[in-house]
Amino acid sequence: MKKFIVAFLFISGSITFVLAQTKDECYNCHSELGGQPAELFKNDVHFQNGLSCADCHGGNNKTDDMDAGMSKEAGFKGVPKGNDISEVCAKCHTSSEKMKSFGAKIPTNQFELLKTSVHGKLSINGKDRIVQCITCHGAHGIVKVTDPRSPVYPLNIPRTCSNCHSNSVFMRNYNPGLPIDQYEKYRTSVHGILNGKGDPKPAQCVSCHGSHGILETSNLNSSVYAVNIPKTCSNCHSNKEYMKKYNIPTDQYEKYSKSVHGIALLQKNDTGAPACNSCHGNHAATPPGISSISKVCGTCHALNAELFSSSPHKEVFDKNKYPECETCHSNHLIITATDKLLGVSKDAVCSRCHTPEKNPEGYKVAKKMKSLIDSLENAQKYANSLIDNAEQKGMEVEDEKFELRDAHQALLEAKTAVHSFNEKKFDDIVVGKGLAVTSKVAKEAQASIDDYYFRRKGLAVALTITILLALGLYMFIKRLEKKQNKE
Amino acid sequence: MKKLLQNFYKWIDDRLQVKGLVDYMGKKYVPVHRHTIWYYFGGVSLFFFIIQVITGILLLFYYKGSSDLAFESVKFIMSKVQFGWLVRSIHGWAANLFILSIFIHMFSVYFEKAYRYPRELTWLTGVLMFFMALGFGFSGYLLPWNELSFFATRVGSDIFGVIPIIGEPLKEFIRGGSDVTGATLSRLFGFHVALFPGIFTILLGLHLILIQRQGISEPLHYKNEKEIKNKKKMPFFPNFMLRDLLLWLIVLNLLAILAVYFPAELGHKADPFSSAPAGIKPEWYFLFMFQSLKYLPPHIFIVDGEVVGILLFGIAGLLWLLVPFWDRKSPKGERNRLINYLGIFAVMFIIILTILGWLS
């Protein structure tokens, strides 16, 4: 039975093919004449679905009279130019009914997406869109995207996009500021290397940028707009099934979204906050090497990175292959660095390596640094409470409030200076700057409070004197008037 | 001690011949009756003016009249200058009490009809001084260059612009430009510390000379007393002056308490580009006018409501200034009920509108 069905299908298919061959006079004639279009069209998915040259070029494919078949009366349009090309494709590809009639299940919104995409903008001729369907898909030899011969097959996409995007002369016309080295970079990335090895799963251009509806990176709706990047990466990287064969974790997005960076970017929409590409790169995406982590973090945390690089930790970390910043701060789940990280308590990161037994010197320094930070914070709180107290009493303490900002600045500096792991440098900032300011401010605020009470005491004294004077004057007047009345 | 004082007096008298003046003052009498208390408010107003001059000079030692430095200099006075806070607070409080005291003094003179012949000029100089006191208040309010004073001055000077014909040029003259800027501050500072005190001192001198020449006005009913023995009086010197001095001491105490417990505030520095704070109001002595203008409809017949209001206030001010010339009855010793009713209306109007303005 099975054999019978296979034989029936083969025979009926062959008959249909032969009939089609004989019916399409355009193809028959052009095949005989030779040339690339007819040769390519033979393998075209449209030809195989029964479409004729006339479906795109117009004319009558039923007659073998060339003049009649390619006459205006027969609706012959010739080679479509500019936007007409995409319009021809859109005739079928925007109609779900037509697409169904060919048994295709592909979407029918590609043309709409293309028109609103960055590629749908006007080209330099001022009439047509920059990109037409054939720019990526080719013309007469169009095959399914799942066909490795297709220019939009995952392994071919980088090269297809690079046809324009690596062409400096072409790109200069539209966006001279846009780099043209994406393809080169991509080939050095983890994604690009695997793609080059024939693995269609790793990300290529359309995985991140989309296909027909590609938007500028500055567009809020773009899949590579800063805020959307983590979600875009997570489409693959959080998919356990998809990532299974690569044997890497899939919890990066979950961790990142809880991190100080993720909260800033995803919840506060702070586009200055780092997304995946800020640390891993975008086209050349790859995990940073152990010894370059501080450089990567240092693109934003410049001072911390510089201090760390010149600290005694740098050498030790490199020797032991500790991933620099990550050792204390973690990677995707970086939480706000609080003072708890410093010192020798249970929560402190210093105590992971520095114990009184294993490394007493480091233990001592960590303990002292924590104690100094605590002292500065407490001194700042104390000075602040005195300022509040003086302010509540109506005293003018604006200058003191302003000065106290220096203490806060010193505290921030101290928190940065931790990365130098240099006791003297740290001491100079905390004691020399911070505690000196808090002590001065506290003294001035206390003087304001004292002045408040002095004013009241002064008033009491002044009132006593003037009341006594008034009483004396009153008695004098009374005595005078009594004397005058007697006279 | 007594001998020493007598010798000192003799030394002065030998050179300045003050005996005549002291004898003259000793012969002056102040009528004593149930309204005598109101006579003291003239002296109290004078005392506040003296305080303003002294504290004003002290503030001038540190104040800098430019938009870049004014706020900072006042802040410096308040926080760094020894007793600067006290001097500024007393200056601020005395300014308010000065105007209040002038209000009371002026209305008491009005109700006592003390403006009548031959004291028309005394009244004229007094009312002009009252207007000048309002000018002192308006010009001094901007000097700290804080948010409140800046916007209140902008609103206040806008009102001048409503006056027909001369309004706009007058507004520009006061502001020193089209808007309140550093030029306005320099201008109002000049008015406050030089022009106004100069004119005020001349008017005050005239006012005091007139009082000394004409004596204290007697109330109408006092003149009609049949028996001379019923007319109670006290010598101006030393009795009235000593009582005045006693009141000054009490007022000084009040000022000290207010300055210590409610010191002058400074607020935030004026920012001409920020939006005006909500509910911006002028000082209390302008509030009744400000509130009245708010109640007026946008248009009265074909004229702008605000213009009508300003004109009405202008006419009322002029009538007030010229009251000795249109009150025909009082100089003849007759009772003039219309004057009383108008006065009561004015007092009620000012009090009610001020309260409404304060509450709004």
Let me know: does A141 contact A40? Beta carbons within 8 Å. yes
Whether residue A397 and residue B242 make contact (CB cut-off 8 A), yes or no, is no
Query: Taking CB atoms and an 8 Å cutoff, what residues of chain A touch B78?
Result: 396
Residue A22, pLDDT > 50, answer no
Among A458, A462, A473, beta carbon nearest to B245: A473
Q: What is the 3-state secondary structure (H, E, C) of A331-361?
A: CCCCCCCCHHHCCCCCCCCHHHCCCCCCCHH
| Mean pLDDT along residues A157-185 | 93
* Alpha carbons B286 and B284: distance in angstroms, whole number: 5
How do the domains of chain A map onto residue ranges?
A: 339-486
pLDDT of residue B229: 64
Query: Taking CB atoms and an 8 Å cutoff, what residues of chain A touch B263?
Result: 394
Whether residue B85 and residue A473 make contact (CB cut-off 8 A), yes or no, is no
* Alpha carbons A348 and A357: distance in angstroms, whole number: 17
Angle between helices B147-162 and B167-175 (to 10 degrees): 160
Give chain A's mean pLDDT: 89
CB atoms under 10 Å from CB of B315, counted, come to 10
Confidence of residue B223 (pLDDT cuts 50, 70, 90): low
pLDDT of residue A436: 95
Confidence of residue B333 (pLDDT cuts 50, 70, 90): confident
| Mean pLDDT along residues B72-101 | 94
Confidence of residue A7 (pLDDT cuts 50, 70, 90): low
Q: Which of A48-62, A87-101, B116-130 has the highest mean pLDDT?
A: B116-130
* Alpha carbons B73 and B80: distance in angstroms, whole number: 10
| Mean pLDDT along residues A165-186 | 93
First to last CA, chain B: 60
pLDDT of residue A224: 94
pLDDT of residue A106: 87
Let me know: does A308 contact A419? Beta carbons within 8 Å. yes
Instruction: Please indicate if any CB of chain B lies within 8 Å of the CB of A476.
Output: yes
Query: Taking CB atoms and an 8 Å cutoff, what residues of chain B touch A473?
Result: 242, 245-246, 249
Tokens of A96: 């779900």
Sign of CA dihedral B338, B343, B348, B354: positive
Provide Rg for chain B, Cα atoms: 23
Query: Taking CB atoms and an 8 Å cutoff, what residues of chain A touch B250?
Result: 470
CB atoms under 10 Å from CB of B357, counted, come to 19
Let me know: does B145 contact B71? Beta carbons within 8 Å. yes
* Alpha carbons A250 and A260: distance in angstroms, whole number: 19
Whether residue A474 and residue B86 make contact (CB cut-off 8 A), yes or no, is no
ipTM: 0.84
* Alpha carbons B153 and B280: distance in angstroms, whole number: 10
Residues 6 or more apart in contact with residue A260 via CB below 8 angstroms:
A334, A335, A336
Tokens of A408: 């806060």
Instruction: Please indicate if any CB of chain B lies within 8 Å of the CB of A470.
Output: yes
| Mean pLDDT along residues A206-211 | 94
* Alpha carbons A369 and A351: distance in angstroms, whole number: 13
Per this entry, what is the length of chain A?
487
- Nearest residue on chain B to A471, alpha-carbon basis: B246
Tokens of B250: 């009490």
- Nearest residue on chain A to B80, alpha-carbon basis: A396
| Mean pLDDT along residues B114-133 | 96
Whether residue A463 and residue B85 make contact (CB cut-off 8 A), yes or no, is no
Tell me which CATH code domain B27-268+281-286 carries. 1.20.810.10
Tokens of A48: 């195989």
Residue A20, pLDDT > 80, answer no
Peptide linkage before B238 cis (omega within 30 of 0): yes
Summarised one tens digit per residue, pLDDT across range A277-324 is: 999 988 988 887 777 788 889 899 999 989 998 898 988 888 888 888
Q: Tell me the residues of B at the A interface, defined by beta carbons under 8 Å apart.
A: 75, 78-79, 85-86, 234-235, 238-239, 242-243, 245-246, 249-250, 252-253, 256-257, 260, 263, 266
Per this entry, what is the length of chain B?
360
**In Å, what is the CA distance from A376 to each residue of A405, A407, A429, A447?**
13, 8, 10, 21
Summarised one tens digit per residue, pLDDT across range B273-303 is: 888 888 788 899 999 999 999 999 988 888 8
Query: Taking CB atoms and an 8 Å cutoff, what residues of chain A touch B144?
Result: none
Among A462, A470, A484, beta carbon nearest to B246: A470
Provide the 3-class DSSP secondary structure of residue A270. coil
Residue B199, pLDDT > 90, answer yes
pLDDT of residue B230: 67
Confidence of residue A395 (pLDDT cuts 50, 70, 90): confident
How do the domains of chain B map onto residue ranges?
A: 27-268+281-286
Spell A202-218 as b/e; 16+ CB within 10 A means b.
bbbbbbbbbbbbbbebe
**Chain B interface mutation, best of A393, A395, A396, A478, highest count of B Cβ atoms under 10 Å:** A396
* Alpha carbons A66 and A60: distance in angstroms, whole number: 9
Residue B209, pLDDT > 80, answer yes
Residue B100, pLDDT > 70, answer yes
Q: What percent of chain B has pLDDT over 70?
A: 98
Min distance A395 CA to chain B CA atoms (Å): 8
Q: Count chain A–chain B contacts defined by CB atoms under 8 A.
A: 49
Provide the 3-class DSSP secondary structure of residue A142. coil
Residue B47, pLDDT > 60, answer yes
Min distance A483 CA to chain B CA atoms (Å): 12
B293-297, long-range: CB < 8 A, 24+ apart: B293/B159, B294/B360
